[in-house]
Amino acid sequence: AQKITQTQPGMFVQEKEAVTLDCTYDTSDPSYGLFWYKQPSSGEMIFLIYQGSYDQQNATEGRYSLNFQKARKSANLVISASQLGDSAMYFCAMRELNAGNNRKLIWGLGTSLAVNP
Amino acid sequence: DTGVSQDPRHKITKRGQNVTFRCDPISEHNRLYWYRQTLGQGPEFLTYFQNEAQLEKSRLLSDRFSAERPKGSFSTLEIQRTEQGDSAMYLCASSLEQTPGEKLFFGSGTQLSVL
């Protein structure tokens, strides 16, 4: 069964330092996509980064990078040079790509990140 | 680009009442999604439209829930005979991409409280 696990309910990081948010996943579909979204206190989910299961390189988007380890089924988000505005909930999500017209995302429970000045 | 807007932001209702939420997606986006999020959880998929066609509906959705997107633009989500377990944040998202890395643009949600 498809599942996303985020084991860190809360994380703290000092401003300007890097932080890694963990995500492991489970799927029997060999073709899948992994996503990270940020949810500030305003409630609006914001797309951060995407990694396809067949992508050869780890995805990067500005200060965000995804440490994709396929054999371990992990897709950790790395935020470099943390900023105060990075304080938010962070969700890992997955979509199985071989399931016909499936557009459904399966989400983890999220990790709350607090950036300290 | 005005973003995805949802109305109302908050709704308080009594158990047994019907409620309707509206979502206006980004204008050129042909895909529209509804998700539900309860406190301390990630979002749960409810349903998805491509243009006006409802292509997927979660088994979590009971017969009390119905969603429409009559002209392929805005969408409504109606909950009939609300129950306390329906209390949640209802999130709407839209997208245009037809790629595996489809990026969803979310609204700020409608927070429903059923008393």
Residues contacting residue A99 through CB under 8 Å, at least 6 positions apart:
A29
Q: Pick left, alpha or beta for residue A81 (phi over 0 → left; psi -120 to 50 → alpha; otherwise beta).
A: left
β-pair type (B31-37, B44-50)? antiparallel
A28-47 exposure pattern, b = at least 16 Cβ within 10 A, e = fewer: eeeebbbbbbbbeeebbbeb
B6-25 burial, b if ≥16 CB within 10 A, otherwise e?
A: beeeebebeeeeebebebbb
Is A43's CB within 8 Å of B89's CB?
yes
Assess B54–A contact: CB distance below 8 Å, yes or no. no
| Chains A–B, number of C-beta pairs less than 8 Å apart | 63
Sign, CA dihedral A82-A61-A7-A87, equals positive
The model's pLDDT over B79-89, given as tens digits with 9 standing for 90+, comes to 999 999 999 99
DSSP label of A86: G
Q: A1-54: per-residue pLDDT in tens?
A: 789 999 999 999 999 999 999 999 999 999 999 999 999 998 899 999 999 999
Q: Smallest CA–CA separation between B71 and chain A, in Å?
A: 21
Q: Does B60 touch chain A (CB under 8 A)?
A: no
| Residue A43 touches chain B, beta carbons under 8 Å | yes
Residues B50-61: what's their mean pLDDT?
88
Mean pLDDT of all residues belonging to chain A? 94
Closest B-chain CA to A31: B100
Nearest CA in chain B to A4: B42
Mark yes or no for CB contact A95/B100 under 8 Å: yes
